[in-house]
C-alpha cells in the first residue's frame, strides 16, 4: 500500500488559493486546514504569481487518439495545483485609496478573472481592513469592486485581522464562502463530465473509464462517498470490458496498464467500503476482483508480473483490512446468500497475507524461469536505464534527450519485457515473502489455528531454506514437524524431515542428520504403491519403502563411520570417528522411539536378596532393513548389576570396546533387529541390596563410535508408538509370556533378609483403668546376632481416633490422654558396668524408642512397658525392632521385625449409690410434691433426719479384685451433714470376683438447710487379687483408687413427718397396737384428713376417718388396736393421711406396711442378734 | 472435479486420504486438508447461534483457496470428512449428497469386524466405492 502515491491513498481534500495580502495567509491557511472538512490552500503572495495556476488546455480533438486511460499527474494536479476557489485579498487602503491604487486593484482583478475563467474556478474577494479604519472604506468603491469581480455580496468579505471577535467572525465567513464555492466548483466539474458520460459522447472506452474516474474523484472532493463508489464501480466495469479489445498499443503493455488501473480503482472501492464498515461487501468485491483478473496472466515472458500484481492485490487488501476498525473485522454480518458468504478466514488479514506470500513465491518461480529463458538479459543495455514511467498511468516510455528537450518514446513489447526482467532481477523477494508469512503465521497463531499457522511456518521455513538460512529454517521446521508427528500426517512429515535433514547438513550437525534420517527411515510409509504420483515430496525424494531403505543405509554408513557426511558448504565433509563420536538418546517422548524401543521386564515383582531373578530385554525397531547391534549394555540404578551383552558373531568387537573390569559380560548368539520383530534376551540377575532395582537404560553400540542410549520402559506401561499406532500392523507382544507383556515392570523390589530374631510381647488379659499396666517385651535371638538394635513402640487407637498420634503438637496432659506410655524399664545386664553410649531412650505418650543392646546368637533381652489407661479404650500396640545382623558394614540393610498386640482397657469397678429413708417414717418433702418427677432432679433429704446411703460397687473386669478400704471424703470441711462411718479399712480384704456387687451402707444426717449440699466422694481402694495370678510383679500390687462423686442433694425441713409404729411381728389372735404419729414441725396449725381402710386380715378399733388439727410443733398420734385374723405376711390396713394446707397425701409403700403373723409366739435363738447388727452384707 | 477426499480421525490424524489428480500436488492437497481442520475446529467450537446448524453434520464450505473449494462434514462420532474440489461453481445439494453416500461407505468400512477403530482404513472395497462416488459427483444434478 505504501508504494501507492499519496494522493491515491488518502481521500482528496478541496483546494483553495489565496492571492495578495501575504500577511494574513498564515492565519487563514491554518484556520481552513483545521476545520472539518479541511480545506488545503495555495498561498500566492501577490497577483503576479497567479500564473502558477495551470491554464486550461485547448479542448482535445475527437480524432486525436487517446494516449492512455488517465494521466499520472491528473489527480495530484487537482489536489495541489488547481484550486476550486481563488480568494483575492485587497487591502482596504488600496480599495479606497487614490485612483492609481484603485486602478491597480481593478487590473489585478481583471487578470485574475482572465486566468481562472477557463477553468470555472470560483472567486471570493476579501478586503482586509484594520478595525480602526473599518468605516473609512467607501461604500461606492465596495459596490464597484463587487460588480467588477462579479461576485455575490456574501462572497465579498471584509476581513478584520486585528480584533479577536471580528477576526473570528470574518474567518468563519470566509470559510463558509470558500467551502460553498469549492463544493459548487467540484459539483459543476463533475456534472460537466457526467453529461458527457450520459450522452456517451466519447470516442473510446479509455475516455469512458477516465470520465467515470474523474466524476468519482470530484464526488470524493465533495465527500459524496456513495456517488464516488458508484462511479468507481462504473469505471471498473468499463475497464473490465476493455480487456481483449484490440488497440494499437502493444498487448503486453496494454494488459499491464489495464491491471494497474484496475488495481487503483479497486483500491479506491475497497477503501470506501471498508471505511463505511461494509466488510462483507468489500470481501465479496475483492473476491470478484481477483477472480476477474486471475486468469489474465498475460504473455508467458512476463507471467511474473502477473503474480507480482496479484500478490500486491492481496497484500494491499490485507493491509486495508487490518487498518480498518478492528471491531468490524470480527463481527461478520450475516449475509443471506449462504453460498457466497465469506468464510471465517476471509475476515482475517492473515489469510490475505498468506496468499500474498504464496503469489509472491509464484512470481519468484516464474521470474527465475523467465530469466533462464532470456539469455541476453544479463548485460543491462543503456536503453533500459532510460525507461521511465510515462505520462499515463501504468505505462512506460523511453526518455530520449535531444539537447535540452526530452522526448518520450513509447516502447515495444520486447523492450518492455527486457526492462521488466532487468528490474525484476534487482529485487530479492525472499525476505519479503518471509515477512508476509511471518505476519500471517503470527495472526493465525493468535487465532489458535495452529495447522494453518504451521503451514505458513512451513512455507516460511522453505523460504529460509531457499536462501540458505538453515538455523532459522531448522527451528521452524522442527516446530512444524512436531505438529505433523502428533497428528500423524505422514506425507507432510516426510517432506519436513527431508528439509530438516538437509538443514542439518547445512549446519554441519551429524547428530541431527542421523536423527532425522533414522526417523524418516522408520516412518510408517509402508508400500511403494503409496501415492505413486507423489513425486514432489520435498528434498528427500518420494515417500516410498525403497527410499526409506536408501535413507536408512545412508544414515548407518555415516554413523558407522564408513562414509562421510557431505556438508552443504564448500564440499566439506564430516566423518564420525573417535574425535566426533555419535551419541543418540531416546527417551519416552522422543520421536526416535520408532527407531529403537527397549522394554525391560522382570519376571517376578519381588525377589529375596541374593536370589536370582529373570529379566527379559525386548528390543524392537521399525527401520526398514535389519540392524545389527555390536554390543548392548543394560544399566540399573544399582550399578553393580549392570551387564553387557556382546554379539556372538562379532566377538572381537566386544573384546575391544571399553568394558570396565569386573563387569559382567554375556554373549548373545546374534543381536540383529528385524523390522517390527522383537529381539528378546533373557538373563538372570542378582542383587544383594534390598530396595528397588530398576533398569534405567539400554545402550546399544553400533560400530566403534555410534551409541544409542535408550531409556528402558516397562511393558505394562508402554505407550503406543507414535504414527505407527494408526497403521494396521501385526500386533506382537514383547515377551514370550503374554502375561508378562501386560504386567511386566522394569523395576523389581528386592526384599530385606528374613529376620531371625523373635520379638515376644507378653500377652496378658485386659488392662484396668487407673492401674499401670505392665507389658513385658522380649527380644530373643534365634539365628542372627543383634547389633544397633532399636525397638520402637507405638500406641494406636484401634478405632482410628487420632488421640494418641505422636504428631499432635498440643501439650499432652493426663486429662485428654486416654492411654499413655509411662515408662520403659529394662534390665541392664550386670556384667555391663556402663551403659552403651548409643543407649537412646525416648518416650512420648504414645511413642517409645529404646535401643537394644548387642546380642549374640541365642541371647535374649527383655524390657517392660508401663502403660496407663485413663479411660477405658482398646488400643493397638505396635512394636518393631530394627537391627543389623552383622556389625561394621555400613551399607548393610537393617532387618526389621514387627509385632502387634491389641490390648483392651477396661474399667475395674463401677460405683453406684442410692438413698433410703428410715423404716416406716415419711417426711413430707414439699419439693417432691410440687414438681413432677424428672429424671435429673436432684434428690431431696429431710433436715435432721437420718437417711441411709447405700453405695454399691460392681466388678466389671474379668479378674478378681481385692477391696482394701472404702471411705467418703467430704469436699468441704464443715458440719453440714454427718456421715457415718467416714472411713473403713477392711481387716480381711474383700475378694471381689467378676460380676459381683459389693454394698456398703452409710448413714447421713443433714444438719443444714440448704438446696445444694455436697455430700462427698466415695473412694474405693482396690488391687488385683494377686493370689489368683502369681505372675504379676510387686509393682502391680500398688492399690488403685476408684472414686465416685456423690451428687449434690437438696436438704429441706419437712413440715410434717408421718411415722407408722407397729411391732415387727404379731401372733394370731393377739391384739397389738398400731399407731400413726403425725408430727407438725411448722409454726402453723395443720389441718389433716385421715382415713383407714378396712382389712379382711385384721379386726381394727380406732377412728376410721376424720379431720383433725395438729398444733404447731406438736405430735398427734392416731392409735389403733389390731387383732390379726390370718397368718403370714399380711398387709396392715392402709392409712391415708392428707395435709389440707399442702394438699399432699401420704401413701405408705406396701413393703413398709406388712407385718408377719405367727400362729403362736415364736422363739428366737441368741445368735440372731448378731445378724441384725451387722451393717454391711453381701448381697447375692 | 473432486481432487481429494479425506477421513480424519479424533486426533486429527488422517485415516484415509485419497487424491484424484494427475499432477504432482498431492502434498499440497494434504496441506489443504490439514489446514481446513482448523476451520472445522473453529466451526465446532463456536457454533453459530442460528438454529438449524446445531445438529447439522454438513459443515459447508470451509474455505475457498485460490483454485480449490474445501467442504467439511462431521459425523456424530466426531470423525471428519473433507472434500476438495476444483469446481468453482458447486451446488450445496451435490456436496451434501456426496457426503451422505461417503458417510454410508465409511460406516460400512468401519463395520468390518477386522477393522480396528482409530486405525487407517485400508479396505480396497472402500477405496473402490469412494472412487465410484467421486466419479459420479455432480452427475445427478447435471442430468
Q: Which of B11, B38, B70, B120 to mutate to test the interface with A (most CBs of A within 10 A)?
A: B38
Q: Look at strands A1154-1158 and A1128-1131 and give their pairing.
A: antiparallel
Residue A488 to residue B11, Cβ atoms within 8 A: yes
Q: Which residues in chain A are closer than 8 Å to B66, comparing Cβ atoms?
A: 294, 355
Q: Distance, in angstroms, between B65 CA and closest chain A CA?
A: 9
pLDDT of residue B8: 93
pLDDT of residue A358: 85
* Burial track A710-747 (b if 16+ CB lie within 10 A, e otherwise): bbbbbbeebeebbbbbbbeeeeebbbeeeebbeebbbb
Residue B34 to residue A726, Cβ atoms within 8 A: no
Residue A451 to residue B35, Cβ atoms within 8 A: yes
For residue B71, what is the domain's CATH number? 3.30.450.70
Contacts for A434 with CB less than 8 Å, ≥ 6 apart: A460, A463, A464
The chain A residue lying nearest B13, using CA atoms, is: A487
| B23, B30, B39 member nearest A344 (Cβ) | B39
**Cβ atoms of residues A1020 and A1044 within 8 Å:** yes
Q: What is the CA angle A650-A655-A661, rounded to 5?
A: 145
The B-side interface with A (CB below 8 A) comprises 9, 11-15, 19, 21-27, 30-31, 34-35, 37-39, 41-43, 50, 60-64, 66, 92, 116, 118-120, 122
* R_g of chain A, CA atoms, integer Å: 61
Q: Which residues in chain B are closer than 8 Å to A451, comparing Cβ atoms?
A: 12, 34-35, 37-38
User: pLDDT of B1-17, one tens digit each?
Assistant: 888 999 999 888 899 98
Grid coordinates representing A677 are: 520383530
The chain A residue lying nearest B62, using CA atoms, is: A343
Q: Distance, in angstroms, between A538 CA and closest chain B CA?
A: 9
Q: Distance, in angstroms, between A484 CA and closest chain B CA?
A: 9
pLDDT of residue A544: 82
Q: Can A1-201 and A757-905 be said to share one CATH topology?
A: no
Residue B24 to residue A533, Cβ atoms within 8 A: yes
Residue A294 to residue B19, Cβ atoms within 8 A: no
Which CATH number applies to A582-750: 2.60.40.10, 3.40.50.10680, 3.10.129.10, 3.20.20.70? Answer: 2.60.40.10
Residue B35 to residue A488, Cβ atoms within 8 A: no
Q: Which residues in chain A are closer than 8 Å to B34, comparing Cβ atoms?
A: 451, 454-455, 487, 489, 492
Domain enclosing residue B57, as ranges? 2-142
pLDDT averaged over 10-residue windows placed end to end, chain A, 1180 residues: 75 85 83 84 81 70 67 80 86 80 85 81 85 72 82 82 82 87 88 83 77 87 86 85 73 82 87 84 85 79 84 88 62 44 79 87 84 62 61 75 70 78 76 88 88 91 89 92 89 90 87 90 69 64 84 88 74 74 87 89 86 90 89 88 85 59 81 88 86 90 88 85 79 81 85 80 76 83 82 78 46 60 68 48 77 83 82 82 75 79 82 80 71 63 81 83 82 72 76 81 82 81 66 55 81 83 86 88 86 85 87 88 88 85 76 84 64 42
pLDDT of residue A831: 47
Q: Distance, in angstroms, between B43 CA and closest chain A CA?
A: 9
| A294, A534, A728 member nearest B24 (Cβ) | A534
Q: Which CATH class is domain A1-201?
A: alpha beta
Q: Distance, in angstroms, between A446 CA and closest chain B CA?
A: 13
Q: Which residues in chain A are closer than 8 Å to B120, comparing Cβ atoms?
A: 726-728
Q: Which residues in chain A are closer than 8 Å to B21, comparing Cβ atoms?
A: 533
CATH superfamily of A1056-1173: Immunoglobulins (2.60.40.10)
Q: Which residues in chain A are closer than 8 Å to B25, comparing Cβ atoms?
A: 536
**Residue B48: pLDDT over 70:** no
SS3 A1059: strand
| B26, B39, B61 member nearest A491 (Cβ) | B26
pLDDT of residue A807: 44
Grid coordinates representing A483 are: 505438529
pTM for this structure?
A: 0.67
Number of domains in chain B: 1
Which CATH number applies to A757-905: 2.60.40.680, 1.20.1250.20, 3.40.50.11890, 1.10.1660.10? Answer: 2.60.40.680
Residue A455 to residue B60, Cβ atoms within 8 A: no
Contacts for A106 with CB less than 8 Å, ≥ 6 apart: A148
Question: How many Cα atoms within 13 Å fall on the side-chain side of residue A282?
Answer: 30
Q: Distance, in angstroms, between A502 CA and closest chain B CA?
A: 19
**Cβ atoms of residues A881 and A759 within 8 Å:** yes
The chain A residue lying nearest B34, using CA atoms, is: A451
Q: Distance, in angstroms, between A477 CA and closest chain B CA?
A: 15
Distance in angstroms (rounded) separating the CA atoms of residues A18 and A42? 6
pLDDT of residue A474: 92
Q: What is the CA angle A606-A607-A609, rounded to 5?
A: 140
Distance in angstroms (rounded) separating the CA atoms of residues A720 and A622? 13
Tally of CB atoms within 10 A around A833: 7
The chain A residue lying nearest B46, using CA atoms, is: A344
pLDDT of residue A125: 86
Q: Distance, in angstroms, between A459 CA and closest chain B CA?
A: 11
Which CATH number applies to A909-1052: 2.60.40.10, 3.30.450.20, 2.40.40.20, 1.20.59.20? Answer: 2.60.40.10
Grid coordinates representing A47 are: 497577483
Q: Which residues in chain B are closer than 8 Å to A351, comparing Cβ atoms?
A: 63
Distance in angstroms (rounded) separating the CA atoms of residues A202 and A210? 10
Q: Which residues in chain B are closer than 8 Å to A491, comparing Cβ atoms?
A: 26-27, 30
Q: Distance, in angstroms, between A491 CA and closest chain B CA?
A: 7
A456-459 long-range Cβ contacts below 8 angstroms, 24+ apart: A456/A350, A456/A354, A456/A357, A458/A492, A458/A496, A458/B31, A459/A354, A459/A357, A459/A358, A459/A361, A459/A433
Distance in angstroms (rounded) separating the CA atoms of residues A119 and A246? 34
Please, which residues bridge with residue A1078 across strands? A1058, A1116
Phi, psi of A590, deg, nearest 5:
-70, 140
Q: Which residues in chain B are closer than 8 Å to A488, comparing Cβ atoms?
A: 11, 13-14
Residue A492 to residue B31, Cβ atoms within 8 A: yes
Chain-centroid distance of CA A847 in Å reads 41
* Helices (H), ranges, B77-143: 92-110, 124-135, 139-142
Residue B12 to residue A487, Cβ atoms within 8 A: yes
* Domain boundaries, given as residue ranges, for chain A: 1-201, 468-574, 582-750, 757-905, 909-1052, 1056-1173
Phi, psi of A895, deg, nearest 5:
-105, 140
DSSP track, A893-934? PPEEEEEEEEE-EE--EEEEEEEEPPTTEEE--HHHHHSPP-
The A-side interface with B (CB below 8 A) comprises 287, 294, 334, 338-339, 343-346, 351, 355, 444, 449-452, 454-455, 458, 486-492, 495, 531, 533-538, 725-728
pLDDT of residue A1026: 64
Residue A536 to residue B24, Cβ atoms within 8 A: yes
Residue B30 to residue A486, Cβ atoms within 8 A: no
Amino acid at each position: 500500500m505504501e508504494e501507492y502515491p499519496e494522493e491515491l491513498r488518502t481521500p482528496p481534500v478541496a483546494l483553495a488559493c489565496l492571492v495578495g495580502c501575504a500577511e494574513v495567509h498564515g492565519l487563514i491557511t491554518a484556520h481552513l486546514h483545521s476545520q472539518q472538512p479541511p480545506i488545503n490552500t495555495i498561498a500566492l503572495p501577490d497577483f503576479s504569481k497567479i500564473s502558477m495556476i495551470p491554464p486550461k488546455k485547448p479542448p482535445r480533438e475527437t480524432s486525436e487518439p487517446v494516449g492512455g486511460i488517465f494521466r499520472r499527474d491528473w489527480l495530484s494536479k487537482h489536489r495541489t495545483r488547481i484550486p476550486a476557489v481563488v480568494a483575492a485579498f485587497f487591502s482596504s487602503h488600496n480599495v479606497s485609496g487614490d485612483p492609481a491604487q484603485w486602478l491597480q486593484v481593478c487590473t489585478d482583478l481583471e487578470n485574475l478573472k482572465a486566468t481562472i475563467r477557463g477553468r470555472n474556478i470560483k472567486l471570493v474577494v476579501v478586503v482586509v481592513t484594520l478595525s480602526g479604519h473599518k468605516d473609512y472604506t467607501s461604500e461606492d468603491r465596495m459596490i464597484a469592486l463587487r460588480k467588477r469581480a462579479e461576485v455575490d455580496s456574501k462572497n465579498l468579505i471584509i476581513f478584520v485581522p486585528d480584533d479577536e471577535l471580528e477576526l473570528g467572525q470574518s474567518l468563519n465567513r470566509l470559510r463558509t464562502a470558500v467551502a460553498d464555492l469549492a463544493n459548487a466548483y467540484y459539483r459543476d466539474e463533475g456534472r460537466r463530465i457526467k453529461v458527457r458520460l450520459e450522452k456517451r459522447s466519447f470516442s473510446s472506452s479509455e475516455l469512458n473509464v477516465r470520465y467515470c474516474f474523474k466524476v468519482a474523484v470530484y464526488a470524493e472532493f465533495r465527500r459524496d462517498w456513495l456517488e464516488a463508489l458508484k462511479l468507481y464501480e462504473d469505471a471498473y466495469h468499463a475497464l473490465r470490458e476493455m480487456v481483449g479489445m484490440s488497440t494499437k498499443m502493444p498487448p503486453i503493455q496494454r494488459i499491464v496498464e489495464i491491471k494497474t488501473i484496475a488495481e487503483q480503482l479497486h483500491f479506491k472501492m475497497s477503501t470506501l467500503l471498508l471505511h463505511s464498515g461494509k466488510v462483507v461487501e468489500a470481501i465479496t468485491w475483492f473476491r470478484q476482483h481477483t477472480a476477474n483478473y486471475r486468469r489474465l496472466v498475460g504473455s508467458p515472458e512476463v507471467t511474473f508480473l502477473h503474480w507480482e500484481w496479484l500478490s500486491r492485490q492481496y497484500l494491499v487488501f490485507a493491509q486495508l483490512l487490518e487498518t480498518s476498525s478492528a471491531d468490524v473485522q470480527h463481527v461478520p454480518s450475516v449475509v443471506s446468500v449462504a453460498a457466497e458468504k465469506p468464510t471465517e478466514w476471509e475476515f482475517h488479514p492473515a489469510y490475505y497475507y498468506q496468499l500474498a506470500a504464496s503469489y509472491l513465491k509464484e512470481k519468484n518461480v516464474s521470474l527465475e524461469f523467465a530469466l533462464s529463458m532470456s539469455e541476453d538479459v544479463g548485460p543491462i543495455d543503456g536503453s533500459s536505464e532510460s525507461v521511465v514511467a510515462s505520462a499515463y498511468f501504468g505505462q512506460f516510455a523511453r526518455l530520449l534527450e535531444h539537447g535540452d528537450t526530452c522526448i518520450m518514446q513509447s516502447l515495444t513489447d520486447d523492450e518492455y519485457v527486457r526492462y521488466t526482467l532487468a528490474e525484476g532481477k534487482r529485487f530479492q523477494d525472499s525476505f519479503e515473502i518471509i515477512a508476509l508469512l511471518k505476519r500471517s503465521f503470527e495472526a493465525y497463531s493468535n487465532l489458535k489455528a495452529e495447522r494453518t499457522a504451521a503451514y505458513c511456518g512451513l512455507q516460511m521455513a522453505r523460504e529460509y531454506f531457499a536462501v540458505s538460512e538453515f538455523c532459522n529454517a531448522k527451528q521452524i521446521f522442527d516446530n512444524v514437524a512436531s505438529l505433523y508427528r502428533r497428528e500423524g500426517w505422514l506425507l507432510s512429515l516426510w517432506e519436513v524431515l527431508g528439509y530438516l535433514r538437509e538443514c542439518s547438513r547445512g549446519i554441519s550437525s551429524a547428530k541431527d542428520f542421523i536423527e532425522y534420517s533414522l526417523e524418516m527411515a522408520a516412518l510408517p510409509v509402508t508400500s511403494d504403491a503409496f501415492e505413486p504420483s507423489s513425486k514432489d515430496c520435498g528434498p528427500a525424494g518420494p515417500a516410498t519403502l525403497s527410499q526409506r531403505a536408501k535413507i536408512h543405509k545412508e544414515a548407518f554408513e555415516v554413523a558407522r563411520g564408513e562414509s562421510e557426511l557431505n556438508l552443504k558448504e564448500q564440499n566439506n565433509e564430516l566423518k564420525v570417528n573417535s574425535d566426533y563420536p555419535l551419541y543418540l538418546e531416546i527417551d519416552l517422548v522422543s520421536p526416535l522411539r520408532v527407531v529403537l524401543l527397549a522394554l525391560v521386564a522382570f519376571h517376578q515383582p519381588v525377589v529375596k536378596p541374593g536370589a536370582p531373578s529373570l529379566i527379559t530385554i525386548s528390543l524392537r525397531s521399525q527401520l526398514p532393513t535389519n540392524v545389527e547391534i555390536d554390543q548392548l549394555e543394560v544399566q540399573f540404578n544399582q550399578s553393580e548389576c549392570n551387564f553387557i551383552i556382546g554379539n556372538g558373531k562379532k566377538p572381537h568387537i566386544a573384546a575391544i570396546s571399553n568394558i570396565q573390569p569386573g563387569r559382567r559380560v554375556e554373549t548373545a548368539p546374534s543381536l540383529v533387529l528385524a523390522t517390527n520383530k522383537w529381539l528378546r534376551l533373557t538373563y538372570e540377575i542378582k542383587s544383594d541390596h534390598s530396595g528397588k532395582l530398576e533398569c534405567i537404560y539400554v545402550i546399544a553400540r553400533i560400530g566403534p563410535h555410534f551409541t544409542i542410549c535408550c531409556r528402558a520402559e516397562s511393558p505394562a506401561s508402554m505407550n503406543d508408538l507414535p504414527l505407527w499406532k494408526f497403521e494396521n500392523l501385526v500386533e506382537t507382544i514383547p515377551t514370550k509370556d503374554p502375561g508378562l507383556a501386560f504386567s511386566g515392570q522394569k523395576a523389581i523390589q528386592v526384599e530385606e533378609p528374613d529376620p531371625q530374631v523373635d520379638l515376644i510381647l507378653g500377652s496378658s488379659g485386659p488392662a484396668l483403668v487407673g492401674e499401670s499396666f505392665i507389658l513385658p517385651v522380649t527380644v530373643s535371638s534365634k539365628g542372627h546376632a543383634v547389633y544397633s538394635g532399636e525397638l520402637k513402640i507405638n500406641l494406636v487407637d484401634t478405632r482410628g481416633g487420632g488421640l494418641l498420634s505422636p504428631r499432635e503438637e498440643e501439650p499432652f496432659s493426663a486429662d485428654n490422654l486416654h492411654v499413655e506410655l509411662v515408662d520403659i524399664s529394662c534390665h541392664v545386664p550386670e556384667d555391663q558396668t556402663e551403659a552403651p553410649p548409643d543407649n537412646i531412650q525416648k518416650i512420648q505418650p504414645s511413642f517409645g524408642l529404646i535401643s537394644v543392646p548387642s546380642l549374640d546368637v541365642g541371647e535374649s533381652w527383655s524390657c517392660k512397658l508401663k502403660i496407663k489407661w485413663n479411660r477405658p479404650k482398646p488400643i493397638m500396640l505396635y512394636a518393631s525392632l530394627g537391627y543389623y545382623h552383622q556389625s561394621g558394614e555400613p551399607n548393610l540393610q537393617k532387618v526389621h521385625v514387627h509385632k502387634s498386640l491389641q490390648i483392651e482397657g477396661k474399667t475395674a469397678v463401677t460405683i453406684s449409690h442410692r438413698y433410703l429413708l428410715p423404716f416406716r417414717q415419711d417426711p413430707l418433702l414439699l419439693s417432691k410434691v410440687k414438681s413432677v418427677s424428672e429424671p435429673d432432679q436432684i434428690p431431696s433429704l429431710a433436715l435432721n433426719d437420718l437417711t441411709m446411703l447405700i453405695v454399691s460397687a460392681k466388678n466389671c473386669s474379668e479378674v478378681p479384685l481385692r477391696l482394701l478400704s472404702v471411705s467418703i471424703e467430704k469436699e468441704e470441711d464443715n458440719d453440714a451433714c454427718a456421715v457415718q462411718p467416714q472411713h473403713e479399712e477392711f481387716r480381711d480384704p474383700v475378694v471381689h470376683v467378676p460380676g459381683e456387687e459389693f454394698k456398703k451402707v452409710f448413714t447421713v444426717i443433714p444438719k443444714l438447710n440448704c438446696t445444694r449440699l455436697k455430700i462427698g466422694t466415695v473412694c474405693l481402694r482396690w488391687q488385683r487379687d494377686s493370689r489368683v495370678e502369681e505372675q504379676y510383679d510387686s509393682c502391680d500390687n500398688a492399690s488403685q483408687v476408684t472414686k465416685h462423686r456423690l451428687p449434690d442433694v437438696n436438704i429441706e425441713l419437712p413440715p410434717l413427718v408421718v411415722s407408722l409404729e407397729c411391732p415387727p411381728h404379731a401372733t394370731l389372735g393377739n391384739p397389738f397396737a398400731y399407731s400413726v404419729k403425725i408430727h407438725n414441725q411448722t409454726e402453723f396449725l395443720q389441718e389433716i384428713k385421715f382415713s383407714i381402710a378396712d382389712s379382711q386380715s385384721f379386726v381394727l378399733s380406732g377412728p376410721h376417718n376424720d379431720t383433725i388439727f395438729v398444733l404447731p410443733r406438736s405430735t398427734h398420734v392416731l392409735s389403733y388396736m389390731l387383732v390379726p385374723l390370718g397368718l403370714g405376711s399380711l398387709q396392715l390396713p392402709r392409712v391415708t393421711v392428707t395435709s389440707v394446707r399442702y394438699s399432699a397425701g401420704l401413701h405408705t409403700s406396701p413393703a413398709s406396711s406388712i407385718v408377719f403373723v405367727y400362729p403362736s409366739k415364736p422363739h428366737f435363738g441368741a445368735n440372731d442378734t448378731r445378724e441384725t447388727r451387722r451393717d454391711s452384707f453381701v448381697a447375692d | 472435479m473432486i481432487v481429494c477426499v479425506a477421513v480424519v480421525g479424533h486426533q486429527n490424524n488422517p485415516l484415509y486420504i485419497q487424491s484424484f489428480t494427475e499432477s504432482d500436488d498431492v502434498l499440497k492437497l494434504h496441506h489443504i486438508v490439514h489446514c481446513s481442520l482448523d476451520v472445522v475446529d473453529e466451526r465446532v467450537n463456536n457454533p453459530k447461534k442460528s438454529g438449524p446448524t446445531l445438529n447439522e453434520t454438513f459443515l459447508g464450505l470451509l474455505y475457498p483457496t485460490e483454485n480449490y473449494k474445501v467442504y467439511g462434514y462431521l459425523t456424530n462420532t466426531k470423525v471428519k470428512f473433507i472434500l476438495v474440489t476444483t469446481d468453482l461453481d458447486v451446488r450445496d445439494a451435490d456436496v451434501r449428497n456426496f457426503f451422505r453416500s461417503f458417510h454410508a461407505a465409511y460406516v460400512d468400512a468401519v463395520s468390518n469386524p477386522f477393522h480396528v477403530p482409530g486405525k487407517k482404513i485400508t479396505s480396497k472395497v472402500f477405496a473402490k466405492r469412494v472412487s465410484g462416488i467421486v466419479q459420479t459427483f455432480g452427475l445427478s444434478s447435471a442430468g
